[in-house]
Amino acid sequence: MNSLSSRLAGRKRFRLQRLIHSFESPRYLLKWVFLSTLIGCIAGLGAIAFYAAIHFSTSIFLGGLVGYQPPEPAGEGATVVTSFWAAAHPWLLPLITALGGLIAGIIVFTLAPEAEGHGTDAAIAAFHEGKPIRARIPIIKLVASAITIGTGGSAGREGPAAQISAGFGSILGRVLRLDAQDRRIALAIGIGAGIGAIFRAPLGGAILAAEILYRDDLEVEALIPGLIASIVGYSIFGAWSGWDPIFSTPNNLAFSSPPQLIYYVVLGLLCGLVGRLYSNGFYGLTHVFHRMPLPNWFKPAVGGLLVGLIGLMIPQAIGMGYGWVQVSMRTNGLLAIPLWIIITLPFVKILTTGLSIGSGGSGGIFGPGMVIGGMLGALVWRLCYHVLPGIPATPGPFVIVGMMALFGGIAHAPIAVMLMVAEMTGNLSLVAPAMIAVSLAYLIVGQQSIYSSQVATRADSPAHRLQFTFPLLATLSARQAMKPLVQQLRPETPLSEAIALFEQHKLNGLPVINEHGTLVGILTPGDIERTEERLRASHTVGETMNHKAQSINAEDTLDNVLEELTTQRISWAPVVEQHPLTQLNNVLGIIFVADVMRLYRKTVHNDERRIDTIIQKNVPA
């Protein structure tokens, strides 16, 4: 009974200790205020750099060489619609789009092949797999995507913006030696902060950081840090670019007629079907390009050439396309576009996006998805206007809800996308009908997703697999599993003594601790082997040790400990505890993978015995 009481008391103390590492703890919250602010700063500055690079590239290639400037949304410039064939050299478009694809392909496949395609999916994959994002990726993604978009490639700007800040979050986690879970949170909030900044949608970006990782779940730990990072990134980008929403919408768009809901039901069903077509078409073209017997760096040029040829017939299908969404929100603008273009544009945009990004080009698929949804809403309004009763007086409501429904469904991020589009349009009055349309689109899409790296739930993610497979590990701490420190080394210890100690006790490593009990490194047989044999007699442990020692916090849960050890491909690590005054890591002991499993099995066995005892006491004689 005393053993049971002590075990329950130990678990109670552990729950109190775990509270210190939750957001209810001022210390833990302060840490994430600092980290989120840094990530938000990079997100804002990265968004500025990428936005400027896109405009610079567009002005050189499309504006300077072709003589054509695509329309822009009202919040980013004048929505001037000019005839493509009035351009100085319209026939150059296929050559320019092919050149852009070629340059982007050479940059990406020469310097960082993992930067191909849409960056958001790569960042999601890095979160689940626990892989770091290389420092060069954000810069390469920025340059390659700016060239792809600036030459007329059909791509969005959210993927590179997300990968820039997500990459910084990944780098920050490694530099500050955060644990595996904190590194993942830093990466996730980088995704949301980058997208929220460049679209001027901080709330939607913060929710996106938690929602876009899964098809049917949320990464709730990313919500609070995501809010901080997103608002910081938005503030920095807004101070440079202005605070107006990206799209300007007509007045009086408020939903006020319940019978109109039937139209939004139809729009939601159509968005779900076209969303599935978008996903199938995009990945179908991607697979076609993967099977082409051509060098990878050359394939984006082929895709770019085809996009340019399509652009000669339908120029609305090239570039980001946000300006055409802006034009379609007003009655006069939409009625000025030929009906055959409005009918074909959502489907042609799917084709040009697959050709631009699926071929190995660089850019996002979020933006094109919103353009496809917006133009689908415009198409429904155009076909029903003056034909069916109760249609809104302007196409704006259908365009806005179409953007929300199509990409919110196919990205499995309905809440985030609804909020983002509401912020991008400065209009929250259509959320009620949008909820119906988005819900129906979400149901039609089913388990299909535009982001192939999404997993269904947290339980399906390698990031949480240990936590859900062995839930008991999340209730045990490293302090409970560690072994006391029997042998240790000092930096000034002769290396020859360390070698003798290793040989005598068959050790595979020891922590190196200074006179204050603080961890300064570790020494392993591998470190000794890297030292020339003739120098081993004169060297000290401090000259040979690995200064970048992986350590485990005493209060870390065993699921995180096991993941950290396996991720780093090591069998043991020193267990440390931060001194409250000096803030230095004092060594308490050593933990091995075998120690984790030994405590797990022991706890399971003890719990089974306790349950058997309770059952026997309650069984009548």
User: Tens digits of per-residue pLDDT, 210-220?
Assistant: 999 999 999 98
The answer on 560 and 413 residing in a single domain is: no
In this structure, is residue 309 part of a structural domain? yes
Helices H / strands E in the chain, number of each? 25, 6
As a whole number, the mean pLDDT across the chain is: 87
Q: Report which of residues 268 and 580 the model is more confident about.
A: 268
Same domain? 453 vs 599: no
Residues 419, 509, single domain; the answer is no
435 and 484 together in one domain = no
pLDDT digits (tens, 9 = 90+) for 80-107: 777 888 888 999 999 999 999 999 999 9
Pick the residue with more confidence: 189 or 579?
A: 189
CATH number of residue 566's parent domain = 3.10.580.10
Q: Is the pLDDT of residue 282 over 80?
A: yes
Asked whether residue 21 carries a pLDDT value surpassing 80, the answer given is no
pLDDT at residue number 23 = 59
286, 342, 350, 450 from 280: Cα distances, Å = 10, 21, 10, 8
Residue 7 lies in a domain: no
The verdict on 153 and 216 lying in the same domain is yes
416 and 558 share a domain? no
Q: Within a domain: residue 13? A: no
Residue 9: which pLDDT band, with cuts at 50, 70 and 90? very low
Beta carbons within 8 Å of 306's beta carbon, 6+ residues apart:
355
DSSP string, 527-595: HHHTS-GGGTTT-BHHHHSBSS---EETT-BHHHHHHHHHHTT-SEEEEEEE-TTT--EEEEEEEEHHH
What DSSP assignment string belongs to 367-426?
A: HHHHHHHHHHHHHHHHHHTTTSTT--SSSHHHHHHHHHHHHHHHTT-HHHHHHHHHHHHT
Q: Is residue 78 part of a domain?
A: yes
Element (H, E) at 597: helix 593-618
Question: Is 16 among the domain residues?
Answer: no
Do both 284 and 203 map to the same domain?
yes
Residue 6 domain-assigned (yes or no)? no
Which pLDDT tens digit goes with each residue over 331-369?
999 999 999 999 999 999 999 999 999 999 988 899 999
Closest CA to 565 of 503, 509, 489, 484: 509
Mean pLDDT of 521-541: 85
Domain ranges, residue 564: 471-615
Q: Are residues 454 and 476 in the same domain?
A: no
CATH number at residue 177: 1.10.3080.10
Question: pLDDT by residue (tens digit) across 118-159?
Answer: 778 888 988 888 778 888 888 898 999 999 999 999 999 887
CB 228 within 8 A of CB 36: yes
Closest CA to 30 of 227, 233, 225, 236: 225
What is the phi/psi pair of residue 483, to 5°?
Answer: -100, 145
Residue 527 lies in a domain: yes
Same domain, yes or no: 525 and 587: yes
Are 267 and 437 a contacting pair, CB within 8 Å?
yes
Give the chain's domain count.
2
Q: Are residues 527 and 586 in the same domain?
A: yes
User: Burial, 150: exposed, middle or buried (Cβ in 10 Å; 0-12, 13-18, 19+)?
Assistant: buried
Residue scoring higher pLDDT (56 or 77)? 56
Nearest to 476 by CA among 365, 597, 305: 597
- The pLDDT tens digits for 557-568 are 888 888 788 777
In the chain, the percentage of residues whose pLDDT exceeds 70 is 92
* Domain identity same for 171 and 104: yes
Amino acid identity for residue 389 in this structure: P
Maximum alpha-carbon separation in the chain: 99
Question: Do residues 439 and 499 both lie within one domain?
Answer: no
pLDDT over 80 (residue 13): no
Per-residue model confidence (pLDDT) at position 582: 58
Q: Is the pLDDT of residue 14 over 60?
A: no
555/476 Cα distance (integer angstroms): 9
Establish if 344 belongs to a structural domain. yes
- Residues 6 or more apart whose CB falls under 8 angstroms from that of 55 comprise 150
At residue 257, the pLDDT reads 85
- The stretch 596-603 carries a mean pLDDT of 86
